[in-house]
Every structure is written in C-alpha cells, then in structure tokens.
Amino acid sequence: MRNHFVRNNAEILAASSYVIQDPPALRGHYRERLGAPRLNLEIGTGKGRFLTDAARAVPSEGWIGVERIGSVLCKAAGALDRLIPAAALHNICLIRSEAEDLPDYFEPGEIDALYLNFSDPWPKAKHAKRRLTSARFLSLYERILAPGGILYLKTDSDILYSFSLEELPARGWTILASEDDYRPDAGDTSVQAIPTEYELQFRKEGRPIHMLRAQCPASAGQPEADHPAGSTPGRTNEEGAAAHA
C-alpha cells in the first residue's frame, strides 16, 4: 500500500496524546502508563489498524505500537486522536523509532508478547541481517521480552517465513505453531486472527498468509551480556499466550 506524505508530521506527532514523546523516560513504567499488567508490542504498526483492534479486543492489556516512518505513524495517531471520548482507548500508545532502539525504551523483561505483522521481508540474501527475525533482532527481543514471552508473526513472504522457521530455533526459541496457509476460523477470537490492512489486501488477491508463534528462551529479560545465544528454551507463558493464540 502506498504511504502518502503527511505535512507537518513532526508537529502532529508532538501534539498527539497517544504518541510517547520521550520513550526512555518511561522505561520500566509502561504498565503504569497504560494501566495494564501485561504489555504487547507491535513492531511496524503502520496505520494502526491491528493495534487499535487488538486494544479493543483485549482492553485489560497494554498495546504499544512502534513505527519508524513519521508520516505513517501520523495516520495511526490521527485516527486515535479523532475517537470520541466514549470510544477513547487508554491502553494503547505509539512510539516513533527504529527497532534497534527498543532496549533503550524498555527494561529487561518488560514486554510480554511481540507482534511482527507483514514486516519487510528483505528478500535478497545479502540483506538477510535486516529481517526482523534475524539473529541481531532476536537478540534485542530477548532483552526486552519476559521469560516465556511469545513472538507472533504473519507474513505473505515465503522467504521470511522459511527464514524465521530456521533462525528462531537456532537461537533457542521454541516454535509453538506454524501454518503455511493460515486461515483462521470465522469464530476465532484470538488476537492473531485480527487482520491487518495488508492481510485484507493479500487475501483479496488470493495470496497465502504464513503464520508462526514462537516462545523465547528462558534467559530472556536479561541484559545482553548475560544472555547467551542458543540458550535452552524455558517455561511457557501459557496464560497470556492462550488469549492471543
């Protein structure tokens, strides 16, 4: 989908009550900010359709959307700011950032679940390290996810899907579920079944959607120096995952 330029996007983001202006200042306090015992993070939140629908579906949990493109995040922020007071969401916030900066914004173990919805697949082999399930990014997630935290992925890319199925276990993650052609039942109320804008478009085009869920290692939620690669998978996070799976 084409992303149109938004004039004065810096001013729009600065004025939005949903955009966190100083993410490091809230490090370790996002649960209090959102009034929720569990925190979910979507990287590449785009225009915010999935994040907003998820926040409505599970109002007892906190939902944080990270997007690096300011003009795109403006659309998500604008849609939230235009909600009438009765429909306002208090369990959601937005951050403009690159994924690489996440450990500066969240304490070790602060995030309970992570969503990667239709991330850039970087199909060329020479760009594999840029994929959001490459070892360099998984090491970042392992620092901010709680032990037993869950990563949820949906993609239309065969390359990213196959790559993820190999890369995650190589770092000690446990693949809990995977489907080559993910088609949630009509009555499926899980968060992962909530469609994104890209997903709706791809399904109209007849393109298969790939899905996987993976659990991070037991050593997650530790500073990088104390978090070795290839560590043994740890305990499950069944209560939280059940509502999302």
Catalytic one among 22, 53, 120, 180?
120
Torsion of CA 149, 154, 155, 161, to 10 degrees: 50
**Intervals of the chain under pLDDT 70:** 1-7, 223-245
Decide if 120 is catalytic: yes
| Whole-number pLDDT of residue 219 | 74
Whole-structure pTM value: 0.86
Domain boundaries, the chain: 23-244
| Whole-number pLDDT of residue 7 | 65
| Whole-number pLDDT of residue 206 | 94
Please state which CATH number belongs to domain 23-244. 3.40.50.150
| Whole-number pLDDT of residue 227 | 39
